Each structure stands twice: as structure tokens, then as C-alpha cells.
Amino acid sequence: MMKLMRLNQLYLVLLGLLICSYSITNLMADRKPKYVWKLAMHNQETIRMINILTLYFTQRVMETTNWDMKFVWYGGGIMGDEKDYIEKMKSGQLQGAGIIGPINEVICPGISVLELPFLFDNWDEVIYVRKKMRSRIDKIAEKNKFKVIAMIDVGFEHLYSTKYPLRTPEDFEKSKILTWHGSLEVELLKALGATPVPLSISEIVPSIRAGVVDSCISPSCWWLTTQLYRITKYINPIPIRYDTGLFVVLLKTWNRIPDKYKTAILIIASDVENRLNNEGRQVCTDALQGMIDYGCEEVKMTSEEIELFRIKTKPLWEMVAGRVYSQELLDEVMNHLEMYRAMDWRG
């Protein structure tokens, strides 16, 4: 009972912060702004992202620009899903959005190179490589007419199932594991022996509850906020991949505001990005442990079983190069990673 109470407390804290965040658009309602940005984000994608972007970031920018800028956030699927966000940005209904998943590729083709299975061993590697790749990512996005305001850690993702431990190829063969994260995820699941079932993000929760599918790759915070942990039998906490999110606005929207506001926004966004990523790592860790404490069975793999996962998925890195991302991008990421691992961090 105490474990359930602690888990519910974590969920309610996250939900409470989310609800509070949307009140920010009512501040200074009597002040007519010069620039209004309508922005969208799906509530269940990453509650950390929503809270800090819609509350902390919004308030600081509005105050810094003397309320010349106003942000109106749309959550809860009001504006559809990520595909709809892109279309609504193009039509002028939205100026920006928080994006995770395969639509990141529309904004920044090749960014999924950072989501290769077992690419990173720890957060230090993620932080180093992301920092080295950031200017490249910004340039690719701008070439596609988007401005990246913040690049956000969704987290290391794990395996969740209502039926199978997802430890062996046989488990994957038996499972009805869903896929929503694009072609790289499809190839990853096939390499592990599964026949993935394609779904949209809005279909995931009802499909799992109805038993249409039984397994999923997911970040722990997302799984917690959907409350799917209540019907989850197994959690395999192996960090199968890193996932990232982008907060973007249209480049033409960005170019319309004064340079002094651009500078202010980027300074605030850098602080927000660091805050969100630093805090988010701990929240994800707490969410994962909380669900295991609640009663989801933790799958503990041997080093041999983990190595088999790596052996089966490593060929994907080269196999999808030239299709999902360029060989040049893969080489650049690997060079940064090898350089980091070669450094003597112990002094």
C-alpha cells in the first residue's frame, strides 16, 4: 500500500505541475502583445517537457520581452498529433510545437542517428555527443525551415509488457509488440525477432488496455503518466535506446521577431533545456523504480543475454545508413563517441 501511495504521489505531482502550467497564458491578459505564438504539445508525450516549457520558459520570455510576446499552448490532443502539428504550422494555425518520435525526422532529417539501439552506455556520453552535434542539428532544421529552440532528453527507453519478459528471441516472437516510432524502430524490433504492429501514439493506450497489443518500447515517465503500469506484468529495464524531443518554431516565425528577443529567448531556452534535462533524468529514474516497487516484475538479464541483444541490433547501424540517416552523420556521431571514450576522465 505504501508503495502504491508513493507512486501515486509522483504521478499527482507531475499531473499537478501540468495543470498549473496551462494557467500561464492568462497572465497579463490585458496587455496586448506584439507577437503571439500558438504552440502545441501532446499531454502524454512527456509531462516534464510540458511543465517546464509552458510555465517556466513562457513566463521568463514574456517578462523579459516586457510582455510584447505571448505564448498560447494547446495540449491534450486539441491540435491533433505531431503530423497535424506540422501541417498546422505550415498553414499558420500554429507557430511551433513540442515534438517527439518519428516526426523529428521531418524537422531534422537524420536526427534518429542518436536513437540507434545501444549507441550510448550512459548519460555522460549522451550529453557530450549531443553538445558536439547541436550546431549541426540546428543547421539541418533551419534548412528545413524550422528553428530549434530546445533539444530535450525524453530519456533512455525500456521494454514493457503485459505478458512476456522480452528477454529472449522467443519472447519477441510470441509478443504483439507495437511500433509507432518510425522505420528504425521497426527494424530494431524485427532484429529482435518480433513482428511489430504499427500504431499511432494516440492508439497505444487503448490498444494495450484492450489486449490488441501487449508490449512496447517506452520512456518510464510516459509509461507512468498513462498509468499503464497498473496492467504491466514485466519491465525489462535494459536501456535499449536513447530518445530525444525537439521544441521548434517555424523559421519564418522566428525571423519576424527582433534580434534582441531572439537573443533573450535563446539564453532562456538554454537554461530551460539544462534544467529540464537535469531534472528529467532523476524523474525518469524515480518513475522506473516506482513502477517496479509497485509490483511490475523487473526482468534481470545476464551479460550473455544483453550481449545477444547487442549482436542482433548492431548491424542496423550500417544497414539503415543512407536511408534513415546519412553515412556522414553516423560517422560524425561515432567519431565524437570514440573521442569521448578515449579520454582519460580520471585525470
Q: Which of 347, 340, 344, 346 is nearest to 120 (CA)?
A: 340
Would you tell me how many other CB atoms lie within 10 Å of the CB of residue 150? 24
Per-residue confidence (pLDDT) for residue 50, from 0 to 100: 64
Q: Tell me if 34 sits within 8 A of 61, measured CB to CB.
A: no
**Bridge-based pairing state of the strands 146-161 and 178-179:** unpaired
Per-residue confidence (pLDDT) for residue 57, from 0 to 100: 87
* φ, ψ dihedrals at 70, nearest 5°: -130, 140
Q: Tell me if 129 sits within 8 A of 333, measured CB to CB.
A: yes
Per-residue confidence (pLDDT) for residue 239, from 0 to 100: 96
**How much is the pTM?**
0.87
Per-residue confidence (pLDDT) for residue 31, from 0 to 100: 66
Q: Tell me if 211 sits within 8 A of 70, measured CB to CB.
A: no
| C-alpha–C-alpha distance, residues 266 and 305, integer Å | 44
Per-residue confidence (pLDDT) for residue 345, from 0 to 100: 56
Per-residue confidence (pLDDT) for residue 275, from 0 to 100: 85
**Bridge-based pairing state of the strands 197-198 and 69-74:** unpaired
Q: What angle do CA 103, 19, 294 make, to 5 degrees?
A: 80
Per-residue confidence (pLDDT) for residue 225, from 0 to 100: 86
At 178, list the grid cell: 507495437
- pLDDT, one tens digit for every residue, the chain (347 residues): 445 545 554 444 444 434 333 434 444 445 689 999 999 987 544 555 666 677 778 889 999 999 999 999 888 778 888 889 999 999 999 999 989 888 999 999 999 999 999 999 999 999 999 999 999 999 999 999 999 999 988 889 999 999 999 999 999 999 999 999 999 999 999 999 999 999 988 899 999 999 999 999 999 988 998 999 999 999 999 999 999 999 999 999 999 999 999 999 999 999 988 988 888 888 889 999 999 999 999 999 999 999 999 999 999 999 999 999 999 999 999 999 999 999 855 44
Residue burial 226-239, b: 16+ Cβ < 10 Å; e: rest: bebbeebebbbbbe
C-alpha separations of 139 from 110, 144, 256, 274 in Å: 12, 9, 18, 21
Per-residue confidence (pLDDT) for residue 202, from 0 to 100: 84
Q: What angle do CA 236, 240, 245 make, to 5 degrees?
A: 115
Residue burial 98-131, b: 16+ Cβ < 10 Å; e: rest: bbbbbbbbbbbbbbbbbbbbbbbeebebbbbbbe
| C-alpha–C-alpha distance, residues 282 and 46, integer Å | 14
Q: Tell me if 244 sits within 8 A of 103, measured CB to CB.
A: no
Q: Which residue in this structure is represented by grid cell 532529417?
A: 109
